Amino acid sequence: MADIFISYKSERRPAARHLAKVLDAYGYTVWYDYGLVPGDEFEPRLMGELRAAKIVVVIWCAMAVRSEWVNREAMEAKRQGKFLPCQIESVALPAEFAGADTINLTGWDGAPRSHMLDRLLGDIARRLGRDPSVNFNRLRELDEDWRGYGAPTLAHFALGPALTPDALRSQSVRPAQEVLGTPPQGVSPNMAQHWENAKRGSAAALLEVGYAYHFGRDGLPKDESEAVRLYRLAADQGYGGGQAYLGFMYSEGHGGLPKDEHEAVRFYKLAVTQGHAVAQVYLGFMYEKGLGGLLKDEREAVRLYKLSADQGDANGQAYLGSMYENGSGGLPQDEHEAVRLYTLAAAQGNAYGQRRLGVMHQNGRGGLPQNDQEAVRLFTLALANGDVPAQGYLGFMYANGLGGLPRDDREAVRLWMLAAQQGNAFAQEQLKALGQHW
């Protein structure tokens, strides 16, 4: 006798199979495999399994709402008090089920380890009277299999053609001559090796060459469109780095892509399921600010920043430091911990960490002695690393002759002008006070 019976339209069997495997990894027994029932036993066996199960999960989609069988099973489940409806497509439900509290799985990316499953797992646990019992190895294997099939969403499992790793590879990895030609003159020896590996279809090498084009380094010119092309080739192989950086290009609208934060979130989620530290930060930021169709969730942002920081990622350390500094996302306000994290990030050349650590020195916070000279040093480093707000802080130090700098109103105004033109509110306020326009 299974804990859970899954009701679905037969064409959606891949979706039901994936969900069944996920629930099994969380310690629940599931019956879904109609295909093994002989024709003359079909109806009695189906209804017998439904009656024996404690919960009936109904997968609603465009085809299911028109299915006589799914509607019959849903009605019987409702009559028996076992009805647990879920949607994998946004569709109008049949009138008799329209008022039911339906779990929305349209936004679930299919990842076996996903917070989007929390409500479903919580409802199952409440009804069965026992919490999920995670089989970590099973869950990890399932996660690897899911990524091996191209990390499809549940709806993609349900609606798309059958996917296999071999088919995915044949679609994603092009012949060498179609990926890259001859490298330009003057590339570094390291880049030349990456180039050759990329021509053979290596996702990691495609990412390295794309990154070099993105920032114009290792002898390659800055070319964001080429970077996007190479990131996409890596992402098409299910490579987390390619997914993370392609998501970033969508979030900024770079490389000829439209600015599309929803698409950015989709790629970040794919990369996060692989534990990619950069994607954890990017997705955390989207949750912190409520971007890309996500509800603002600072606790989820903190969780993701911690995952990234634990891997030594400088952005993860710096953003987690900010959450501690402000006491956000359920964290206690702890400036000492903020300083520790900013110091780790600054040591890796992280501009945000350098600037925030400079502020802590400037104001003598987080257990640090007040030290304007150290603040100036850090602001200067942050500015050299492209941090716009650092211009505003350096302008303030020049305006007041602090940290060993000469008092220089002209230099202060110059820095504030640069920062104000890039939208920095502090610099704009300083210029307004002087009657200056930018």
Question: Which single residue is written with the structure tokens 């003359």?
Answer: 40
Q: Residue 411 in contact with residue 434, Cβ under 8 Å?
A: no
* Residue type (1 letter), 30: V
Give the whole-angstrom CA distance, residue 174 versus residue 411: 53
Distance of CA 169 to the CA centre of its chain: 23
pLDDT value of residue 159:
46
List pLDDT tens digits, range 177-228.
457 888 989 999 999 999 999 988 888 999 999 999 999 999 999 999 999 9
Residues paired with residue 47 on neighbouring β-strands, in sequence order: none
- For the cut 90, the answer to whether the pLDDT of residue 144 exceeds it is no
- For the cut 60, the answer to whether the pLDDT of residue 170 exceeds it is no
| Alpha-carbon torsion angle 202, 268, 285, 251, nearest 10 | 90
pTM of the model: 0.61
- The CA–CA distances, whole Å, from 83 to 45, 53, 176, 202, 240 equal 19, 11, 53, 47, 37
Q: What is the longest distance spanned by two Cα atoms in the chain? A: 93
Question: Which single residue is written with the structure tokens 């990622």?
Answer: 313
Give the whole-angstrom CA distance, residue 195 versus residue 188: 10
List pLDDT tens digits, range 404-419.
999 999 999 999 999 9
List pLDDT tens digits, range 357-398.
999 999 999 999 999 999 999 999 999 999 999 999 999 999
Other C-beta atoms within 10 Å of 195: how many?
23
Angle between helices 203-215 and 189-199 (to 10 degrees): 130
Give the whole-angstrom CA distance, residue 236 versus residue 213: 19
List pLDDT tens digits, range 291-316.
999 999 999 999 999 999 999 999 99
